[in-house]
Chains A and B, each alone.
Chain A
């Protein structure tokens, strides 16, 4: 799997990839911060959308702007910018999500110079007629603002092309999820994680090509001998930038067969209607996709979705990865846990910082959990 090796190399050092890519292609690079960033428009405009993951190492510059009770994701991203490690960015796009990212946008605008800065102030509720209209209006405004910043007019034709690319990627990823759900052994969790991450970093056309090849090969591959008795788990949380966690789960007798993650299914889910006017199709996708807890859609949507995911992937249990100081997820955890318990679906809560707890400790917790399943 040459392509997989290549993807893994990119993921291990995304900035090196982006710098080289920028030089070779002459394309502009636009940083974005969450899976609600309408990156289909960025790609349509001829720029590379790059998801910001931040760093967990040696955070000190961010301390002069953000107090200790800010989540490590937001702090880690700001650290990268203040340390001048993101100087290749031509611009940034802040979609509205939580209170912390909202203020990160302000702090960024006041302290990081030499790039354009666009706030896409999305609606917070997604289930009313006025919110739907507003989302469309905001995306229309974003199309204009982004076009102005990049010096291009983003036409419907360009959008339609981008939609096609994203649809193809999303269909293939859905296939990948299915393949792994049926035969978890065909691809290790860490490799799977790398593919997902590469989707948010690489040239999307090239990524699509690589992904087609990988999925094609996996389809043909004979499933490795099933390691009998591995317990099937769904993980739920915000951003998961810990490929190790998949390995640790696998070493503990479990296997990840589905997720509700910002860097996972929430990012890929939802095919856009290629027959609709393009911006309407994009709007509809962001209205209908699985919500993140910073958004409002009915009162139990996230719990119901997680139960659906568990059933669909025939999972034995759920692991919550809660990032410390992430308010939206922490508010939802008790009711979702209650809903799972009512359905007799066991779950495990892992409080996380940017850095994982020691491997030994984690493994013991997973092993204990897997044993009760």
Chain B
């Protein structure tokens, strides 16, 4: 326990990096997921097919491999284009990889959610003279959000767990800090169990948050007696 406390500050630093990584990837993943979902619902056949192929491919490849490809591949790509010695940071590579993985799953969820918005409501919105933007933000998005929240909860949990993979490409996140401490103190068990405990705590905290969000999103649907 004393050892853990003496490295407490380092572990906290690592935990904050992990959370930053997770939230940044979540933000980009949600936006990208919406864009992909829009492409999948578009009337252009080729756009739809391309995006479908891309997301299906992404969902079939291990997240770990995608992180490796993004981290090493992006630097190589940039260096070949501009022949410089530019190197992207593990953080940027990690966010990029986790965000596209998240968006691949999210696009499928959003597509289903937008399809599940009853046609009558969209017709009603049109009949009320709402513009397309207004219809999207006031009618479609809130409903799609409500329908997709439970799946988003699952995806967020896997995203949070997947952040640990970025430590392999050298990001000093929670797991990497624990790994360094473990090598220095020769007590890997203590540190890795502590990491597991912290992740468990993060996930345990996010459950009530999602329960609250779902309650808020469902307030139009409270049981009528």
Do A and B truly interact? no
